[in-house]
């Protein structure tokens, strides 16, 4: 399974995109072309056995990418370029999603490949709260999560996006009126996201 990670914290001047795909990691020229077609500059790249890391900025402003919709476009563009070059990627991802909706013959219930977990804690420097979400990946997930956060008046300072096959591991640095979240706000955020993600998960399962 390919792994796509988007990190907006490590480098102050660029969005860090890491693609891990085993022995095929070095064969990502199509991904580079696709990123440039999105209006991005690749400031530098590192290739090793662990993965390929791109440091990208907006071609017009030379700034890092901060809008959730565009980050989602980048993630999906990389995955689509991998599917186009390596058809087995699409088959593996499809198999992963389908297995998630197959009935469990022993228990008589659906098996979930990825169970949604949500954790909120205060950042070590006390400037914000850190929201960690592990759930099943799907197109538009990042945009939908940010929309839920904005609906309850939270500010997303930065985010780290990590996709491993059908699993999304997202980390958001958030504030409420410029401060870390209070205990009641933590409860509100957790309940709102659990409710929303459970609804979309059921809708996804019923679509199979």
Among 119, 207, 107, which Cα is nearest to 171's? 119
Torsion of CA 66, 68, 70, 71, to 10 degrees: 80
Domains and CATH numbers, the chain: 3-99 (3.30.70.260), 117-206 (3.30.70.260)
- For the chain (208 residues), the mean pLDDT of every run of 10, in chain order, is 80 87 58 84 78 88 87 82 66 50 40 70 94 87 87 88 83 93 90 78 48
Radius of gyration of the chain (CA): 18
């Amino acid at each position: 399974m390919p792994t796509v990670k988007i990190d907006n914290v490590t480098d102050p001047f660029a969005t860090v995109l890491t693609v891990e795909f085993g022995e095929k990691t070095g064969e990502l020229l199509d991904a580079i072309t696709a990123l440039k077609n999105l209006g991005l500059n690749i400031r530098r790249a590192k290739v090793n056995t662990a993965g390929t890391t791109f440091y990208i900025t907006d071609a017009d402003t030379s700034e890092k990418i901060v809008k959730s919709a565009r980050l989602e476009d980048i993630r999906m563009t990389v995955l689509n370029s991998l599917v186009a070059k390596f058809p087995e990627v699409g088959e593996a991802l499809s198999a992963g999603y389908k297995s998630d909706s197959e009935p469990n013959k022993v228990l008589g219930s659906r098996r979930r490949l990825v169970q949604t977990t949500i954790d909120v804690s205060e950042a070590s420097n006390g400037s914000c709260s850190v929201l960690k979400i592990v759930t099943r990946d799907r197109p538009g997930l990042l945009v939908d999560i940010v929309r839920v956060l904005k609906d309850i008046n939270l500010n997303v300072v930065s985010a780290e996006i990590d996709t491993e096959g059908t699993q999304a591991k997202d980390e958001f640095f958030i504030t409420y009126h410029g401060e870390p979240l209070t205990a009641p706000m933590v409860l509100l955020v957790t309940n709102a996201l659990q409710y929303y993600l459970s609804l979309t998960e059921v809708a996804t399962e019923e679509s199979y």
